[in-house]
Amino acid sequence: MSLGRRLVTVAVALAWLVPTSAPAQDWPARQPIRLVATFPPGGLADTAARILAPKLSEQLGQQVLVDNRPGAGGTLGADIVARSAPDGYTLVLSHAAPHGIAPGIYPRLPYNAVGDFTHIIMIGEAPNVFMVSGSSPLKTLADLIAAAKAKPDEMAYGSSGIGANTHLMGEYFATLAGVSLRHVPYKGSAPALADLWAGVIPSMFDPITTNVGHMRIGKVRVLAVSSAKRLGMFPDVPTFAEQGFPRMTTSSWIGLSAPKGLPEDIQRKLYDAVAKVVQMPDVKARFEEVALFQPDKQLTSAQYVAFISDFVATWTEVSKAAKVVVE
């Protein structure tokens, strides 16, 4: 055998020893898929992830594992995904906090909330609620405002963390109402709720998703909901708008995203899989139970990107007006 042919033979043999990435068309054959939830167990992102993961596993023929990576208003988990390889094996539940609110309040955010991700599909939206414990003497939003004005700086509100959209909502509401509210950040909704029930904090902003059960049994009293109109499941709960705060109409939204540069065929497979899963009767029923509402018409990937871009622009202006900056 000639030297040239021997070199070719050796090269071919060595090629079998070098690990290679599976072609995009074979995705997801290589390994389980990691779905990053940017908040702790019990919150909106985690709730949605736990509903979606087993169904996506069935659709994709590969296990989808939920990986909770909380911290800094969801930005730690989002940053992990932004820095990951765009191979379809690391995904994130994009969220109003790290992908919509954070760009306006973190001067040194380590990622671009739009440009550093492949935003695939919107999953749903949940209105936010402003609530007190079920035993609180505060019965209405007007009661809370009056109490805050009577004792400036003593009225506090909790949120799921510094930089969370509920943090910014509290600051914005205080600005609009002309009161001073002290922010008490927690590492997720669950510990904040525990302190609300215990009387450690008098009020709290949170997505309705994690509170539907507590509302039904009277463990919390919702003073206002951020939906455009009253919810059919809670017709007695007034909106912020009808109480004189129309600018407080907003939601906590979630979707599915991946690192920038995800191959188009993987993006298409993920879009189709999620679009199918969210229409399954049992998934729709579960979403309705936790007040996670799907768009009237499913957004395309391009429309989801435009939605996030508009949200970032709007809430960057809000953060400036409320003078909220997280160093």
- pLDDT tens-digit series, residues 113-140: 999 999 999 999 999 999 999 999 999 9
> What is the separation of C-alpha 57 from the centre of its chain, rounded to a whole number of angstroms?
21
Mean pLDDT, residues 297-309 taken together:
96
Residue 12 half-sphere exposure toward CB, CA atoms < 13 A = 6
CATH 3.40.190.150 domain span(s) along the chain: 25-126+252-322
* Buried b or exposed e, range 56-71, using 16+ CB within 10 angstroms: bbebbebebebbbbbb
What does the pLDDT look like over 142-178, one tens digit per residue? 999 999 999 987 899 999 888 788 899 999 999 999 9
**d(Cα 288, Cα 93) in Å, to the nearest integer?**
19
Distance of CA 274 to CAs 101, 120, 130, 267, 315, Å? Answer: 24, 9, 31, 11, 27
Mean pLDDT, residues 232-252 taken together:
94
Question: What band does 25 get if pLDDT is binned at 50, 70 and 90?
Answer: low
pLDDT at 287: 94
Question: What band does 2 get if pLDDT is binned at 50, 70 and 90?
Answer: very low
Host H or E run for residue 61: none
Residue 325 half-sphere exposure toward CB, CA atoms < 13 A = 6
pLDDT at 4: 44
**Does residue 14 have a pLDDT over 80?**
no
Residue 304, judged by CB atoms within 10 A of its CB (0-12, 13-18, 19+), counts as buried
Q: Which CATH superfamily is domain 127-248 in?
A: Periplasmic binding protein-like II (3.40.190.10)
Enter the pTM of the model.
0.83
What does the pLDDT look like over 60-112, one tens digit per residue? 999 999 999 998 889 999 999 999 999 999 999 999 999 999 999 999 999 99
Q: What are phi and psi of 249, to 5 degrees?
A: -85, 105
Question: What band does 12 get if pLDDT is binned at 50, 70 and 90?
Answer: very low
**Does residue 275 have a pLDDT over 70?**
yes
Q: Which CATH superfamily is domain 25-126+252-322 in?
A: Bordetella uptake gene, domain 1 (3.40.190.150)
258 within 8 A of 88, measured Cβ to Cβ: yes
Both tokens assigned to 230: 């009253």
CATH 3.40.190.10 domain span(s) along the chain: 127-248
3-state DSSP assignment of residue 123: strand
